[in-house]
A and B are shown apart, each in its own frame.
Chain A
Amino acid sequence: MAIGSGVIRGHWITLRRFLLTFARDVRDGFALRRRGGGPQPLDFFKTPTRGEERVVVQDATIDGLFTVEYPDERLPVFERFRMLPVLIYDDEDGNVRCTSCNICAKVCPPQCIWMVQAKSPKGTVVPLPEDFFIDMDVCMNCGLCAEYCPFDAIKMDQNFELANSERHRTHIYSLQDLLVSSAYYAQTHPEAWSSPEETAERAKVAKKKGQRLQKALGAGRGVGTESAPKTSALI
């Protein structure tokens, strides 16, 4: 085998890439310091405050190799990025949106969702979850539960830092662990929250749920959406 022009051309491409990326780092001020480090040129020991890490975006125009120095740097999180499901409660009235209708559990491919439906003092069924469980280690993050929830109650969260040292208790998320406010969801999913579809869905669902609550608890007692019983998690 003779080493010829093909190998030399390959080396030239590697060298060109090295020079290109080096020039880019010099231009961006990252030639002599860790990219996720502190403000000084040789600040190797400082790490950014949690939540203020530099977000690194590699767009179509950037050339060369790219290393994101996680956790000092982060990739941007796209709005639709999905990890585990969460349950939404509305900030205005503190009501959990979930009616414990069980559709999320029915469509869940790995069957990792189960729940206990709330009961009124009379023993009749109330459209609220008494408790709600998701086994996060079984969840395959597919998002079908959120997609097919008819009450807009279950949504996919973006938090991916879930490492833990114990599985059997801490990884079975209960209602307490799953509840997040509608403000949190609006913040993580601004496009979806302000979309006409979700706005219309919210109005429709609030009405539907109010009617179901009234029916369940008895219209004579004057129970509507505003005075719906809150789950213990929110009190």
Chain B
Amino acid sequence: MVSMGPQHPSTHGVFRMNVRVDGETIVGLKPVMGYLHRNHEKIGERNTFLMNMPFTDRLDYLTSMGNNFGYALAVEQLMGDEAKPPERAEYIRVIMAELTRIASHMWSIGFLLNDLGAFFTPALYAIEERELILDLFEWASGSRMMCNYFRFGGVAADLPPGWLDRCRAIVENRLDKKIDELDEYLSGNEILLDRARGVGVLSTEDAINFSTSGPVLRGSNVPYDLRRAAPYGIYDRFEFAVAVGNHGDVYDRYYVRLMEMRESVRILKQAVRGIPEGPILAGKKTYQIKVPAGEAYGRVENPKGELGYYLVSDGSAAAYRYHVRSPSFINLTALERMCLGRTIADVVGILGSLDIVLGEVDR
């Protein structure tokens, strides 16, 4: 038995694995997660609905716009038509969510290569694009990572003057080229192929049975994407393909993310061309939000998979019950199946290919 980790940049002390080995071969693996204990769900029941919005930023801190989106959808389900976002807000939400997907996948691919031993060059190339996207987030929302930008019935503020022009410049002229460069740089690299092909295989059946989602599920050849399967916001208006892999190995999960970034750019191009003028919030801005009694499950296709918020309201100012279905946590349950029969060295790459963030694993 070997206690392994933390070794991934995002595990920093709150995740390790108890690995049973026979020589170098893995015969058993138990993820040990914890020690963050932020009580996110309990705090969500103490806070009013609005006050919980900035807390959702801190779940998967690389995808705060997406986290906001899911939570806003859950509360809007309870509030009904009164909180239906105006057109412009719907477009802004999609733009922000897709920019988040690109930023998160860039980070994920960069650090997967870091895990596979490429040290920092691919990560730095990927982070460069992410920084430009974070600039856009900071410009619009006031913060690079903890955006707190969505509100029930819209978004907190309109896009500042010049924002869309810069976003268009990045989306139309830059991201495609950079994704191509990353593809050319990494996808055919023999060292990457050797470390990733046939490693950490998760069969289609296993991927479904473990309830995995996002690139982990799609890498195992299941074309399930919430933006298609249960469209939310205005996703049904955009043309894009659902990227899938064939073998369910580390390489497929990497490549699905790369293809998803291309599809996100496709959606972004349509969204920045079609965004209308108009209001960005339904009704008047108020901190006293009346949420009727009932229950709701709001879910989004976050970069790491299905992020769901289950809410029960008793009509009071705060949620009676608040639960988060976080993709990182659920994808981790399939880790042992992927690692069995592989070596210790492969575990690092397999964990990297899951793209976890511990903020939403141990909530």
**Interface size band for B:** 35 or more
Distance, CA A191 to CA B139, complexed state (A):
12
Q: 10 closest pairs, A vs B, by CB?
A: A142-B54, A6-B188, A80-B142, A60-B169, A82-B142, A148-B287, A109-B51, A6-B189, A1-B194, A60-B170
Dominant SS at the B interface?
helix
Question: B160 and A13: CB pair below 8 A?
Answer: no
- Which listed residue (A64, A66, A143) contacts B142, Cβ 8 A? A143
Q: Which of chain B's residues have a CB closer than 8 A to the CB of A108? A: 51
Interface string of A111-144 (1 = CB under 8 A from B): 0000000000000000000000000000011111
Distance, CA A80 to CA B142, complexed state (A):
4
Chain A residues numbered 1-21 whose CB sits less than 8 Å from any CB in chain B: 1-7, 9-10, 13-14, 17
In this assembly, does B128 line the interface, its C-beta being within 8 Å of a C-beta of chain A? yes
Given the interface pairs A10-B186, A107-B50, A141-B146, the reply to whether A60 lies near B160 with Cβ below 8 Å is: no
Q: Which of chain B's residues have a CB closer than 8 A to the CB of A59? A: 166, 169
Distance, CA A37 to CA B122, complexed state (A):
29
Residue on B nearest A76 in the bound complex, by CB:
B135
Question: A106 and B287: CB pair below 8 A?
Answer: yes
Question: B148 and A143: CB pair below 8 A?
Answer: yes
Given the interface pairs A140-B146, A144-B51, the reply to whether A13 lies near B184 with Cβ below 8 Å is: yes
Q: Which of chain B's residues have a CB closer than 8 A to the CB of A31? A: none
Distance, CA A14 to CA B187, complexed state (A):
15
User: Chain A's nearest CB lies how many Å from the CB of B45?
Assistant: 13
Q: A58-B135, A148-B286 are in contact. List 16 more A-B contacts (CB 8 A).
A: A3-B191, A10-B186, A10-B189, A13-B184, A60-B170, A64-B128, A65-B125, A66-B128, A66-B131, A78-B138, A109-B47, A140-B54, A140-B58, A142-B54, A142-B57, A143-B142
User: Chain A's nearest CB lies how many Å from the CB of B187?
Assistant: 8
Distance, CA A17 to CA B53, complexed state (A):
40
Residue on B nearest A67 in the bound complex, by CB:
B124
A-B contact pairs, 29 of them (CB 8 A): A1-B191, A2-B190, A3-B190, A3-B191, A4-B190, A5-B188, A6-B188, A6-B193, A9-B185, A9-B188, A10-B185, A10-B186, A10-B189, A13-B181, A58-B131, A59-B166, A61-B169, A65-B125, A78-B142, A81-B143, A82-B142, A109-B53, A109-B54, A109-B55, A140-B146, A142-B54, A142-B57, A144-B54, A148-B285
In this assembly, does B282 line the interface, its C-beta being within 8 Å of a C-beta of chain A? no
Q: Which of chain A's residues have a CB closer than 8 A to the CB of B302? A: none
Chain A residues numbered 32-75 whose CB sits less than 8 Å from any CB in chain B: 58-61, 64-66
Query: Which residues of A approach B to under 8 Å, CB–CB?
Result: 1-7, 9-10, 13-14, 17, 58-61, 64-66, 78-82, 103, 106-109, 140-144, 147-148, 156, 191
Question: B142 and A156: CB pair below 8 A?
Answer: yes
Query: Which residues of B approach A to under 8 Å, CB–CB?
Result: 47-48, 50-55, 57-58, 121, 124-125, 128, 131-132, 135, 138-143, 146, 148, 156-157, 160-161, 166, 169-170, 173-174, 181, 184-194, 285-287
Q: Which of chain A's residues have a CB closer than 8 A to the CB of B157? A: 80
Q: Which of chain A's residues have a CB closer than 8 A to the CB of B190? A: 1-4, 6-7
Question: B50 and A78: CB pair below 8 A?
Answer: no
User: Chain A's nearest CB lies how many Å from the CB of B125?
Assistant: 8
